[in-house]
């Protein structure tokens, strides 16, 4: 028999569910020799040999186009950064970190503001303005009352997307609204702490009926930007990338250097203060990490 190519939907305890070309799911174990050298993650394209109807052996993991870690997903095209407008309150630093993660890994980022049914229109409008000014597509949604779901569905069609954002933001709820048959478990936000309960514990790649896949993930709330060079951080903020051509020094980190195009753009209102502040916080974080490493 010749090996077939399939896509890993999920893995539990060394057994992987592979979606075959025709859409059926095949349970596979990896062949001994590939076990140690490489961990297989959701989203991986693999070559497998079928044994009977619904079982097989993974022979080879094909090269990945993109990888994100903790939780690990491979071959993702776009990252949907989800934030609730309230319950829990938006965390702009975490959002900006997730956007940097997407930019640095070559994933197309999309911002999704959920729970607009709970707040006045001005709340998502102000948040949207920050991210639209940065150059991102922003969707305003309510998984509960079904607003913005059609737009979200269109964004997901025929691509592999991963949802990211704090626990309780409504990632699983949005996916359930996009495709009601999914029946993903959702969890109430704690009244006491205002935080989510980390309802989704495992990554699974879900095939969409309109074509494409989505990964429902447990959030990426413990995000570390380990492998980013501090001089490259500004490249992962599209609006900083745009204005840094006006800096006097090519090595400008946009802190206290003279004739800084980025700081001028902040003063003129062309870069949102929160984005610039979070750039500086992440820069400090990267410097700290570099110092403890050597």
Ligand X SMILES: Nc1nc2c(ncn2[C@@H]2O[C@H](COP(=O)(O)OP(=O)(O)OP(=O)(O)O)[C@@H](O)[C@H]2O)c(=O)[nH]1
Applying CB under 5 A, the residues found at the interface with Zn ion are 247, 252, 254, 260, 262
Q: Is residue 173 close enough to count as binding ligand X by CB under 6 A? A: yes
> Considering only residues 65, 182, 187, 246, which one is a binding residue for ligand X as defined by CB under 6 A?
187
Q: Is residue 144 close enough to count as binding ligand X by CB under 6 A? A: yes
Dihedral Cα 53, 59, 61, 62, nearest 10 deg: -90
Residue number with CB closer to ligand X (165 or 212): 165
Q: Is residue 172 close enough to count as binding ligand X by CB under 6 A? A: yes
Q: Is residue 168 close enough to count as binding ligand X by CB under 6 A? A: yes
| Closest C-alpha among 71, 81, 83, 132 to residue 102 | 81
In the complex, least distance from residue 164 CB atom to Mg ion, rounded to whole angstroms: 11
Radius of gyration of the chain (CA): 21
> Considering only residues 24, 39, 158, 198, which one is a binding residue for ligand X as defined by CB under 6 A?
198
Q: How many residues bind ligand X (CB under 6 A)?
A: 25
Q: 85 and 138 in contact (C-beta within 8 Å)?
A: no
Q: Is residue 188 close enough to count as binding ligand X by CB under 6 A? A: yes
Distance between CA atoms of 83 and 121, rounded to whole angstroms?
A: 15
HEC letters along 131-184 = HHHCCCEEEECECCCCECHHHHHHHHCCCEEEEECCCCCCHHHHHHHHCHHHCC
Residue number with CB closer to ligand X (21 or 201): 201
Distance between CA atoms of 246 and 250, rounded to whole angstroms?
A: 9
CA 290 centroid distance within chain: 25
In the complex, least distance from residue 271 CB atom to Zn ion, rounded to whole angstroms: 11
Q: Is residue 200 close enough to count as binding ligand X by CB under 6 A? A: yes
Residue number with CB closer to ligand X (45 or 144): 144
Residue number with CB closer to ligand X (177 or 282): 177
User: For ligand X, which stretch binds (CB under 6 A), given 98-106, 113-121, 256-264, 277-285?
Assistant: 113-121
Residue number with CB closer to ligand X (213 or 236): 213
> Considering only residues 28, 42, 169, 271, which one is a binding residue for ligand X as defined by CB under 6 A?
169
Q: Which residues bind Mg ion (CB under 5 A)?
A: 171-172, 199-200
Q: 247 and 257 in contact (C-beta within 8 Å)?
A: yes
Give, in degrees to the nearest 5, the angle at Cα 232 between 228 and 233: 70
Binding to ligand X (CB under 6 A) within 204-243 occurs at 218-219
CA 184 centroid distance within chain: 18
> Considering only residues 5, 15, 38, 118, which one is a binding residue for ligand X as defined by CB under 6 A?
118
Q: Which does 179 bind (CB under 5 to 8 A by kind): Mg ion, Zn ion, ligand X, none?
A: none
Query: What is the SS3 assignment for 42?
Result: strand
Q: Pairing relation of β-strands 78-84 and 160-164?
A: parallel
Q: Which residues bind ligand X (CB under 6 A)?
A: 114-115, 117-118, 142-144, 167-173, 186-189, 196-200, 218-219
């Amino acid at each position: 028999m010749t090996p077939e190519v399939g896509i890993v939907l999920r893995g539990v305890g060394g057994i992987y569910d592979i979606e075959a070309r025709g859409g059926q799911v095949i349970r596979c174990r990896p062949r001994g020799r590939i076990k140690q050298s490489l961990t297989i993650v959701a989203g991986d394209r693999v070559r497998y040999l079928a044994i009977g109807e619904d079982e097989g052996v993974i022979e080879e993991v094909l090269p990945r186009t993109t990888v994100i870690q903790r939780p690990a997903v491979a071959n993702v095209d776009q990252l949907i950064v989800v934030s609730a407008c309230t319950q829990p309150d938006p965390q702009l630093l975490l959002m900006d970190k997730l956007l940097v993660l997407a930019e640095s890994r070559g994933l197309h980022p999309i911002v999704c503001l959920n729970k607009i049914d709970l707040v006045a229109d001005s709340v998502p409008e102000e948040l949207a303005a920050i991210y639209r000014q940065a150059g991102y597509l922003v969707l305003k949604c309510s998984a509960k009352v079904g607003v913005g779901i059609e737009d979200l569905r269109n964004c997901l069609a025929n691509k592999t997307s991963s949802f990211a954002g704090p626990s309780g933001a409504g990632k699983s709820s949005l996916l359930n609204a996009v495709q009601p048959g999914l029946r993903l478990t959702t969890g109430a936000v704690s009244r006491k702490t205002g935080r989510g309960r980390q309802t989704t514990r495992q990554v699974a790649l879900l095939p969409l009926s309109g074509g494409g896949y989505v990964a429902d993930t447990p959030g990426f709330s413990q995000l570390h930007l380990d492998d980013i060079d501090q001089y490259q951080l500004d490249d992962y903020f599209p609006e900083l990338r745009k204005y840094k051509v006006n800096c006097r020094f090519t090595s400008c980190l946009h802190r206290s250097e003279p004739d800084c195009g980025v700081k001028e753009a902040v003063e003129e209102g062309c870069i949102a203060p929160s984005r610039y502040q979070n750039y500086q916080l992440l820069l400090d974080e990267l410097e700290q990490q570099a110092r403890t490493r050597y």
